Chain A
Amino acid sequence: MSGRGGNPLWRFAGVRPAAALFFAYLYLPIVILIVLSFNANRTVTIWTGLTTDWYVEVLSNGDILRAARNSLIVAFSATFIATVAGTLAALGMARGRFRGEAAVNGVMGLPLVVPEIVTAVATLLFFILVGIKLGLLTVIIGHTVFCTPFAYLPIRARLEGMDPSLREAASDLYADAWRAFRRVTLPLLWPGILSGALLAFIISLDDFVITYFVAGAGATTLPVYIFGMIRIGVTPEVNALSSLMLLVSILFVSLSFLVQRQR
């Protein structure tokens, strides 16, 4: 990027068009979705003029607002539990080497690689076997499971980058374990915790597959609601609602990024 030479790859013909094509493929649909969410015409393919009516309609739709409320309840609960669990896990893992550490580390990240549909079916099966009635609680439990590794990883990374002599210095300066944690470890860990929490939050907010399986009646979240709307057809309300969710996601990712960067 810097200087006259730049990336040597630019020498090859076709690198630029390929990159352009890739990004177009990735983002053009999203741009179109956002543009169409302002289209005054109900038919998607015909542009008649600019309007914000669909947004008004979305924000005054009781079902959508209920789904949004559910989404937020689930996201906040799952994020909270996952972040606390992730922080404790990271602190525990950083305490020292132990037998089977690699295995524990692997198991911790497993939810990231297990196909979501498998987790979804397994979770549903588990709830049925145990006899828990499907509802908002089961969604929260399900989300907590896959949010935990997302919360854990940034916290662990932050902790790993922390100079172990800082804790020793605190202890040397008359701070017992709890005060050393509160005054030194926690403030330094805070950006990691926050960015882990934000990551967990958007992952939860976006989730469809697991939610679709384990959400009982009245526990519909926004992604599930959008899926229901799509079955009837892609309406401008869907576009508007999707755009709003995109906005929230971008907001949270940016926040997470900013928090991660600051020391």
Chain B
Amino acid sequence: MPQANAIDIRDITKVFGQGAEAVHALDHVSLAIREGEFFTLLGPSGCGKTTLLRLLAGFEQPTAGVIGLYGDDLAGLPPFRRPVNTVFQNYALFPHMTVAGNVAFGLEMQRWRRGDIERRVEEVLSLVKLAGYGQRKPAQLSGGQQQRVALARALANRPKVLLLDEPLSALDLKLRKEMQIELKRLQVETGITFVFVTHDQEEALTMSDRLAVMQDGKVLQVGTPAEIYERPTRRFVADFIGDTNFLQGVLGRAANGEIQIKLDVGGMVTTRHAEAHTEGERVTLAVRPERVDLEPVNAEAGEDTGRLRGVVETVVYFGTDTSYRINIDSLPEPVLVRVQNRQGAASPFASGDSVRLRIPPEAVQVLVD
């Protein structure tokens, strides 16, 4: 049996404004979010990720397209009739109510019995580690605690899907790291489907089961963090997540499961994946800095495939690794290479040294565009 989809987004378009001032916040977006997964919408501000979340919550209605929740069409359903709950970016706690009052609000609106409400509030407050804080007012809590109340208030209703709109962006770095772990724990413990919006690529990679990278109202790529990082299909995705070197070349013929690519800068590399392309096509390659090895230029090299000559421009020591910027003739941008530091070893290369870059086949990702 295939895993059930919690949310089916089919061909959603959202246009704000009219005529010449119309803004396409979402442009034919389709996504399937599976039951019980931690799904992240990742992209820069203005990419449409928050708009998509607001469409799921019901604060906005789509201009075109269908949103299904466990097969039910959500069209026209106001927020208060949707079995989903939201954690707002600024928490949006009711300042005139106590913490317990805030958490109980949704249950009261659903006409739970008083005793059940009290029990549930206790339960959820201890779930977010705020047991005993029920009688405080939100203003008496720290930012991190307010964040937990916002989570508790949403989780109390046992939503089918929890929507989180950049909930960690207001916290300082240390607290943010803590809450990342906390959120992940809550998601695993409750088994609730999380849809998480963020512009922080590291957050997206570390927390998500799967993520969608968005730009200009479009979904560019959907996949697991490893898929997105290792196999980006678009230049924007490769560039937005982590550091990437881009090289241009022409696709050659395939042999032994490896496809040769003749680089514009001279030299050859091979890759194992170029399904979307045919021989003779011009392609852009994405190469992660840590997948490239450096060799001294005088080393016995064998054949030249997968090797490029360059000159070290800068060396930056990062503790766990060392980062090199390598100038290659006729490349406008230096190539970034990151080498993990071995025990006790100082950098074998200095600025001005001639080096060879070894780019193994698995380091080469051919982009779709």
B78 neighbours in A (Cβ, 8 Å)? 171, 176
Q: Are A169 and B86 in contact (CB under 8 A)?
A: yes
Central interface residue in B79, B86, B157, by most chain A CB within 10 Å: B79
Using A174-B110, A175-B109, A179-B109 as known contacts, say yes or no to A168 and B79 having CB atoms under 8 A apart: yes
Q: Are B92 and A169 in contact (CB under 8 A)?
A: yes
Q: A26: CB under 8 A from chain B?
A: no
State the majority secondary structure of interface residues on A. helix
- Which positions 85-134 of chain B face chain A at CB distance < 8 Å? 85-86, 88-90, 92-96, 105-106, 109-110
Interface residue range, chain B: 20 to 34
Q: A218: CB under 8 A from chain B?
A: no
Central interface residue in B59, B78, B105, by most chain A CB within 10 Å: B105
Q: Closest CB of chain B to A225's CB: distance in Å? A: 43
Using A165-B88, A183-B105 as known contacts, say yes or no to A172 and B79 having CB atoms under 8 A apart: yes
Q: Closest CB of chain A to B348's CB: distance in Å? A: 55
Using A172-B79, A172-B86 as known contacts, say yes or no to A163 and B105 having CB atoms under 8 A apart: no
Interface residue range, chain A: 10 to 19
Partner of A263, one of B94, B95, B105, B106: B95
Q: B357: CB under 8 A from chain A?
A: no
- Which positions 84-107 of chain A face chain B at CB distance < 8 Å? none
Q: How far is the CA of A165 from the CA of B109 in the complex (A)?
A: 18
Q: Are A176 and B96 in contact (CB under 8 A)?
A: no
Interface residues of chain A, those whose CB is within 8 Å of chain B, are: 163, 165-166, 168-176, 179-180, 183-184, 187-188, 263
Q: Are B59 and A173 in contact (CB under 8 A)?
A: no
Q: Which residue of A lies closest to B79 (CB)?
A: A171
A166 neighbours in B (Cβ, 8 Å)? 92, 94
Pairs A–B under 8 Å by Cβ, sample size 6: A165-B90, A169-B94, A171-B58, A171-B80, A173-B153, A175-B109
Q: Closest CB of chain B to A188's CB: distance in Å? A: 6
B6 neighbours in A (Cβ, 8 Å)? none
Q: Are A172 and B95 in contact (CB under 8 A)?
A: no
Central interface residue in B58, B89, B90, B92, by most chain A CB within 10 Å: B92
The 9 closest A-B pairs by CB, nearest first: A173-B106, A174-B109, A169-B92, A165-B92, A171-B79, A172-B86, A175-B109, A174-B80, A187-B96
Using A174-B110, A188-B95 as known contacts, say yes or no to A168 and B105 having CB atoms under 8 A apart: no
Q: Which residue of A lies closest to B110 (CB)?
A: A174
B90 neighbours in A (Cβ, 8 Å)? 163, 165
Q: Closest CB of chain B to A262's CB: distance in Å? A: 11
Q: How far is the CA of A166 from the CA of B94 in the complex (A)?
A: 7
For the complex with contacts A168-B57, A169-B86, A173-B157, 10 further pairs of A-B residues with Cβ separation under 8 Å are A163-B90, A165-B92, A168-B79, A169-B93, A169-B94, A174-B81, A179-B109, A180-B80, A188-B95, A188-B96
Q: How far is the CA of A69 from the CA of B79 in the complex (A)?
A: 50
B153 neighbours in A (Cβ, 8 Å)? 173
Using A168-B59, A169-B86, A170-B105 as known contacts, say yes or no to A175 and B80 having CB atoms under 8 A apart: yes
Q: Closest CB of chain B to A263's CB: distance in Å? A: 7
Q: Which residue of A lies closest to B109 (CB)?
A: A174
Using A165-B88, A179-B109, A183-B105 as known contacts, say yes or no to A172 and B57 having CB atoms under 8 A apart: yes
Q: Closest CB of chain B to A93's CB: distance in Å? A: 21
Partner of A174, one of B93, B95, B157: B157
Q: Closest CB of chain A to B234's CB: distance in Å? A: 33
A184 neighbours in B (Cβ, 8 Å)? 94
Q: How far is the CA of A263 from the CA of B157 in the complex (A)?
A: 28
